[in-house]
Amino acid sequence: MTSDYIKIALIQTELIWENPQKNRDNFSEKINLIKEQVDLIVLPEMFSTGFTMHPQENSETMEGETVKWMQKTAAEKKSAIAGSVVISEGNNYYNRFLFVHPSGEINFYDKRHLFTLAGEEKVYESGNKKLIVNYMGWKICPLVCYDLRFPVWARNVEAYDLLIYVANWPKIRIAAWDTLLKARAIENMCYTIGVNRVGLDANNYEYNGHSVAYDSLGEQLVEIPPNQEETAVFTLDKNHVSKTRNKLGFLNDRDFFKIECQ
């Protein structure tokens, strides 16, 4: 099925520290409160645990309960569901963005830029492949939190329509979140969405949300109020992207480059 329109739900909420079952239950409750049919539900980074540096105790496999829950929820709601989860594979751990289709098919992206300020690179493996998800005729680029600070990795060389960031981005640096999300929308001439959590984590870091959506000119379409647990539902029109690019053509003048992943 393809469509020029996609209806999206962003869920901004507190996360229960390192408790996947309670987090899944919380998200199930909030998803069940969405009364209209949506095409895509977006959850924050590490939505089942919070931003933990303890993957040994908190990771799951791709056959684990959180992935099964995502597949079950996507099938029941006839909606894709996306967010990042702590995943173990072999002897490594990943901060993995999962995009689960209503069919149960899974696309995944492993966070490229690990947050060295918190020592994320010491316990997780970095991804080295950018992902473009094809869903309903939309080309979607999923990225995770700290990736937001690195515009070269996000650069729109694939003509994607929608850029999604999921995050645990603390209040103390929220001005950067606000500014960089808008910049990514403008420079890549695409819709850009950021989904952040609220509340305190076990390390006493405070998160105040600012989950938001911008159009391809950087105009704000949706913002969930700070510090609120709330779900925002809105519809995007792909014709806006194509009309803007055809009229302005800024992407035609972009620099060409090659990224070398270590």
Residues annotated as catalytic (active site), given as ranges = 45, 111, 145
Contact 142, 82 (CB under 8 A): yes
Task: State the CB neighbour count (10 A cutoff) for residue 239.
Answer: 10
Q: Are strands 162-166 and 138-144 parallel, antiparallel or unpaired?
A: parallel
Distance separating alpha carbons of residues 93 and 81, to the nearest angstrom: 22
Eight-state DSSP code of residue 112: S
Distance separating alpha carbons of residues 200 and 184, to the nearest angstrom: 27
Eight-state DSSP code of residue 169: -
Contact 205, 187 (CB under 8 A): no
Dihedral angle computed from the Cα positions of residues 79, 83, 88 and 90, in that order, rounded to the nearest 10 degrees: 70
